[in-house]
Amino acid sequence: MAQSVTKPGSTGEALQIKVADVNTPAGIGGPTVVVTDTTGAPVSDAAVIFRLPDNGSSARFADGTLAAVTYTGPDGKARAGEIRGGDALGSISLRITAVKGTAHAGLLFEPT
């Protein structure tokens, strides 16, 4: 399972990302992540960017792009959009970044 990397913001706060639900075969919605603060409380209204590799994979989001942006709900959850036309499960890497104010975190998710 992927782990989050936290980076403190200028206020000393940090975000954490955890992959909560994996549903990544081509043509299916991507993973759901939970964004929390350092106390484990969910962070709402954080921007979450899901980015597929620029090369080496044929996977794309449903709109044909390599990136999708969404925002966390009150429960801190955000879901990647539908991923299509990708290679076999396990060969798609997905960079996930969460940002709120100056706090941010990122991880590289590689389903197995």
Q: What is the pLDDT of residues 78-93, one digit of tens each?
A: 998 888 866 554 467 8
* Residue 54: exposure state from Cβ atoms within 10 A (0-12, 13-18, ≥19): exposed
Q: What is the pTM of this model?
A: 0.79
- Rounded distance, CA 104 to CA 112, Å? 26
Whether 77 contacts 31, CB under 8 Å: no
Q: Tell me which of 3-12, 28-37, 94-103 is least confident.
A: 3-12
